[in-house]
Amino acid sequence: MEAADTSEVRPFEFEYDGHHITLIDTPGFNDTTRSEAEVLKSIAEYLSSAYSDHQKLTGIIYLQSIMDPRMYGSTLRNLKMFKVLVGPDPFPNVLLATTRWGQAEMLDELTLAESRESQLSTDEEFWAPMIRRGARVARFKDTRESAMQVVLSLMHQVPIVLQIQAELVDQAKDLIDTTAGVAVNEEAKRLELKYRAELAQLRQEMDEAIAERDTELQNIIEHSRETSEQRLGVIKAERDLLERDRLRTFDPLLRETESVEANQDGFASLPLTAESASALYLDPSSRSGRPRFVVGVDYGTCYSGKRYIVSALPLGQALTPLIALSFVRCYKAHPEDVNVIRTWPGRDGKWKVPSRIAYPTENETANLRENAWGYLVESNMKSSSWTKLLLQYDTERKALFRKYPSDDPTIDIHLPPGLSAYDVATDFLHESYKWLTRTLIRHFSQEVLDHTPMDCWLTVPDTGSDRACSVLRAAAQAAGFASRQGDTCTLISESAAGALNFFQEANKPHWTWSKWPKERTDKLLQTKNRVMICDCGGGSVNGGNCGSTAVDRNLYALMRKRFGKAFVAVEERRRGPGSRFMDAWETVKRSFGTHAGHQVYEIGPLVMKTAEDSEHYDSDECMVLLTRDDVESLFTPVMTEIMSMVSEVIERGGPIQGLVLTGGFANSKRLFSQFEGWCAEHGDIQLFCPDHP
């Protein structure tokens, strides 16, 4: 392992005295051109691949220049990473070799070099702990003979397995969860906090400079801000790289079917047929192994759903639980056995529960003793909703509002003081996990739950960043999913889940996803036609920032424009998500688009103390008045964005014969009618939408 001269892992093979020798040159963690995550990833991939091919190392040579006047911070960091890569046991196979002795002799600095070597060997911060564990010290004197002496001294050692190899291959850990991965990630977290603090300080200094009209100081601060933002960007990219491999956990069956997951544009091109989708379920006679709970978690921006199933199938062979919250008895894993959980705290008969949570600390008058979530959140409570959006868009709130008229930065997603979006998402998912386990206990017993492993499948946005998906998965795990020994947590794209559900439903004799005759639908699925999945969620439509909440944000923008401070002054709990005002708006939003309808919609009640009676507000009844044109103006920019995305994909990927709408926004009559017209204009495309998208 060299300090920084090597940029890639490179093996060198040669013959010497009847021996076939392979030297593997690796970069160091003090490389100035590559991040620690990049270096770790390249080393880890090579070592894990070699170990998987039954190739073990007989020795490790750590090179350190004897001419360095002192151990710099980067050099100490390099040494620390070397230790966590190797682990505590293989040090008898480690050779700590000092280099540039020829240069020391030429400069007549041998005495000084020997003093440095002694310090390296005896200092507890440097090599002393490794030497006590069996590592040896050698000198490389810049000659071929000296190099061969160093290499040959390790020839007859017993082959070893490094800690990083055991963790990645034997323990099947993600890179970020290995000892080395944790070390790199923790350092990145520390630097991220440092740079964020610097940026916060710079913002304060900039405000002061602007107030004092000191343009010279403003320029200096702006330069410092750009530098800190660049450094922060590098660190975030480093953490993204580490977390990216978490997404490589999709079921092998999914990969073998030419990837049902959506492409870069977020729309899934489905090479599956109804028959091949059915083949994902094995014949009951072939099922073996220990029974498991298979749980699907669809954590949405506005609503969430969960489902569970008990199966004796190996992981990944029961996929429909990703589509509904359900359970089934042991050794059953057919789609017909999947039952949606429709009993929630505070409400029965609902397919999903609102993704909303209220904290006792913010609702003292409500006498909450514990967190209220879902349907337990009352309209007069101060609550947190839409927090998944903050996870999806790297927690940058302003990015949520950049495309639509609601781009006022004061329109905010509420987070309780001291809590991040990750914290709120974790708390909501924890309440959800507790309810899931209670339901399982009711149906099976505590003993069965204790002795049955649980495989959690978590749906993620199709074009969400790797970082956002990793954060969502981490929140689910922190909430309790995959927290028990033997439990797992796997990610699947929302469109992939929708695709599997579509083909399973299409196999049924009677289904109501389409207005088309069953015979025409069967013909579509039995030929090599192209069907696209369009996941229309609350926060996005296949990753685009044009989900149903975009319409809500347009409503907020209109309210601010018409009523100004009168609307802003209304408490968040009375005008935000979950309020009576927004519940009334949700009813209008879902039904809007039918041919018959009101010319004026009354939404409320909403008490705006300083708002006067007008064509837009009934001050006596405290009702906001919207015309059909008003509501249409809220939908239009969102519809335009959605159809533009679809058309762009068609232009690049070629024509399709069927289009499937999934996700909560698919319930919108306005959205469905928009797609009906579009499908008719583009070749009579078959349009499908489930009863409970």
Compute the distance between CA of residue 342 and CA of residue 306 in angstroms, rounded to an integer: 10
8-state DSSP, 282: P
Query: Looking at per-residue confidence, does 320 or 157 come out higher?
Result: 157
The gap from C-alpha 680 to its chain's centroid, in whole angstroms, comes to: 36
pLDDT digits over 205-232, tens only? 888 888 888 888 888 988 888 888 888 8
Compute the distance between CA of residue 21 and CA of residue 658 in angstroms, rounded to an integer: 58
8-state DSSP, 691: S
> In sequence order, what are the residues at sequence separation of 6 or more whose Cβ sits closer than 8 angstroms to the Cβ of residue 78?
1, 3, 28, 29, 30
Q: Where are the domains of the chain?
A: 10-173, 178-247
Q: What is the DSSP string of 479-519?
A: HTTT-STT-EEEEEEHHHHHHHHHHHHHTSSS--S-SS-HH
Query: Does the pLDDT at position 688 exceed 70?
Result: yes
Compute the distance between CA of residue 500 and CA of residue 319 in angstroms, rounded to an integer: 8
- Segment 94-102 shows an average pLDDT of 88
Compute the distance between CA of residue 575 and CA of residue 582 in angstroms, rounded to an integer: 7
* Contact (CB, 8 A) for 153 and 138: yes
* Contact (CB, 8 A) for 86 and 98: no
Query: Does the pLDDT at position 141 exceed 50?
Result: yes
Compute the distance between CA of residue 413 and CA of residue 397 in angstroms, rounded to an integer: 8
At residue 92, the pLDDT reads: 92
pLDDT digits over 399-417, tens only? 433 443 344 333 457 888 8
β-pairing, 356-358 with 94-99? unpaired
What dihedral do alpha carbons 556, 368, 375, 588 form, nearest 10°? -30
Query: Looking at per-residue confidence, does 161 or 318 come out higher?
Result: 161
pLDDT digits over 472-503, tens only? 888 888 889 888 888 888 887 777 777 766 76
* Contact (CB, 8 A) for 295 and 433: no
- Segment 436-463 shows an average pLDDT of 83
> In sequence order, what are the residues at sequence separation of 6 or more whose Cβ sits closer than 8 angstroms to the Cβ of residue 632?
none
- pLDDT bin (cut points 50, 70, 90) of residue 639 is confident
Alpha helices in 212-260 (DSSP H): 215-243, 252-256
- Segment 431-455 shows an average pLDDT of 87
Burial of 528-554, coded b for 16+ CB within 10 Å and e otherwise, reads: eebbbbbbbbbbbbbbbbbbbbbbbbb
Which contiguous run of DSSP H or E holds residue 23? strand 19-25
Select the highest-mean-pLDDT range: 174-188, 268-282, 589-603, 638-652: 174-188
Q: Provide the token pair at 327.
A: 């359970």
Q: Provide the token pair at 607.
A: 């008490």
Q: Which residue has the tokens 């209109």?
A: 558
* Contact (CB, 8 A) for 439 and 342: no
Mean of all residue pLDDT scores within the chain: 75
- Kindly report the length of the chain: 693
pLDDT digits over 511-527, tens only? 555 555 566 566 666 66
* Contact (CB, 8 A) for 445 and 245: no
CA distances from 414 to 259, 354, 357, 479 (A): 37, 16, 11, 20
pLDDT digits over 532-562, tens only? 877 776 544 544 455 677 888 889 889 999 9
- pLDDT bin (cut points 50, 70, 90) of residue 618 is very high
At residue 269, the pLDDT reads: 36
pLDDT digits over 250-306, tens only? 333 333 333 333 333 333 333 444 444 433 333 333 333 457 788 888 776 555 555
Compute the distance between CA of residue 554 and CA of residue 544 in angstroms, rounded to an integer: 16
Q: Provide the token pair at 217.
A: 């100081």
* Contact (CB, 8 A) for 2 and 63: yes
- Please give the backbone phi and psi of residue 129, each rounded to the nearest 5 degrees, phi first: -60, -35
SS3 assignment for 617-675: EECCCCEEEEEHHHHHHHHHHHHHHHHHHHHHHHHHHCCCCEEEEECHHHHCHHHHHHH
Query: Does the pLDDT at position 59 exceed 80?
Result: yes
At residue 243, the pLDDT reads: 66
Q: Which CATH class is domain 10-173?
A: alpha beta
At residue 606, the pLDDT reads: 92
